[in-house]
Amino acid sequence: MEVINAIGRRKAAVARVYVSEGKGQITINKKELKEYFTTGTLQYIVKQPLNLLEVAEKYDIKVNLDGGGVTGQAEALRLAISRALVKIDAESKSALRTAGFMTRDPREVERKKPGQPKARKKFQFSKR
């Protein structure tokens, strides 16, 4: 099997994934998964598509992660891994879709408007 690549995005985070056959190693920006994502919740989010298809020990994954915060990066990586797994085996798409791993979350940060302190917050209104 040759190297399969895919991309995942979430907010400002971009994950570029390179999947090859191996022993289940996940390397993010030349660091181990447990070293990069220290909390168990984020590690669980990243491994969700692999555990769903029961292929966690089958592939080595190399990742370039850039931008955003830790949760956005973890969710971008989950999407990228899901897309790569579909490229490898097209039958797995329906299972990943029902779990919600194939959908790009479209929510972005709303822009700040002039005459307001934030996107929706208004300055205190004075009647007189």
What is the per-residue pLDDT for 123? Answer: 96
Contact between 18 and 6 under an 8 Å Cβ cutoff? The reply is no
> Is residue 105 assigned to a domain?
no
Structurally, the chain folds into a number of domains equal to 1
Instruction: Report the CATH number that the domain containing residue 21 is assigned in CATH.
Output: 3.30.230.10
| DSSP string covering 17-72 | EEEEESSS-EEETTEEHHHHS-SHHHHHHHHHHHHHTT-TTTEEEEEEEESS-HHH
Q: What is the pLDDT of residues 78-98, one digit of tens each?
A: 999 999 999 999 999 999 999
Query: Residue 42: which domain range?
Result: 4-99
Q: Which residues of the chain have pLDDT under 50?
A: none
What is the per-residue pLDDT for 100? Answer: 94
What is the per-residue pLDDT for 1? Answer: 78
What is the per-residue pLDDT for 55? Answer: 92
What is the per-residue pLDDT for 67? Answer: 95
Q: Backbone phi, then psi, for 37, in 5-degree steps?
A: -105, 100
> Is residue 57 assigned to a domain?
yes
- Three-state SS for 87? helix
